Structure 1
């Protein structure tokens, strides 16, 4: 079975990751807290172009995988495409994204607050992608 993927949903979900990240890490939301814990100095003169391009690429891959996994979940379990998308997003986030963040951050000795901040950001990101993919039912 080849998953049917709504490419418009994947592109919109990809763009949503940039919107969520832009809001989440703005100084008035969690940006100042993140910079302090991650030891990032604002205005270091580094270009953000490469990190933004990398983020777009990996966000596209994540949205594509989420869309494919959602289709497989929906085909297997049935029910609502939207609920399958949201549950699949939650499971993929917990099983892969959060688990990997926690493991790497523990070995790198990063502050627990940074790990929690980044994991919750990824949870919100995945749930927004799941919502978008779920609303663009195949």
Structure 2
């Protein structure tokens, strides 16, 4: 079986990751704290074009995988497509994103606050993507 994927939902979910990140890491939200614990100095910003392009590509892959996994979950369990999308987003976030962040940050000796900040950001990002994918039900 090949999952049916709503590509418009995947593109909108991809764009949503940039919106969530832009809000999350703005100085008035968590940006100042992030710069402090990540030891990033204001004004020392490097060229952001490549990181933004990489973010778009990996966000597209994440949204695509989430859309496919949501379809499989819905096909198997039935019920609400939106509920399946949100639950699938939490499971994929916890099993892959959060688990890997925690492992790498522990070995790299990063501050716990930075790990928590980034993990929760990814949870919010995945939930927004799941909501978009769930609302664009096939």
- Which bin holds the TM-score, normalised by the shorter protein? over 0.9
State the distance in 2 between where 1:45 and 1:70 align. Answer: 37
Distance 1:47 1:41 in 2: 14
**1:43, distance to aligned residue in structure 2 (A):** 1.6
Map 1:40-119 → 2, pairs under 5 A = 40-119=40-119
Distance (Å, rounded) in 2 between the aligned partners of 1:50 and 1:68:
27
What is the number of equivalent residue pairs in this alignment? 138
Moved over 4 A (4+): none
Cα deviation, 1:87-135, whole Å, max 9, x if unaligned, reads 0000000000000000000000000000000000000000000000000
Q: Secondary structure at the match of 2:116?
A: helix
Other structure's SS at 1:41 match: coil
Gaps of 5+ in 1: none
1:32-77 Cα distance to aligned partner (Å, 9 max, x none): 0000000111221511101100000000000000000000000000
Structure 2: any 5+ residue segments left out of the alignment? Answer: none
Q: CA RMSD in A?
A: 0.5
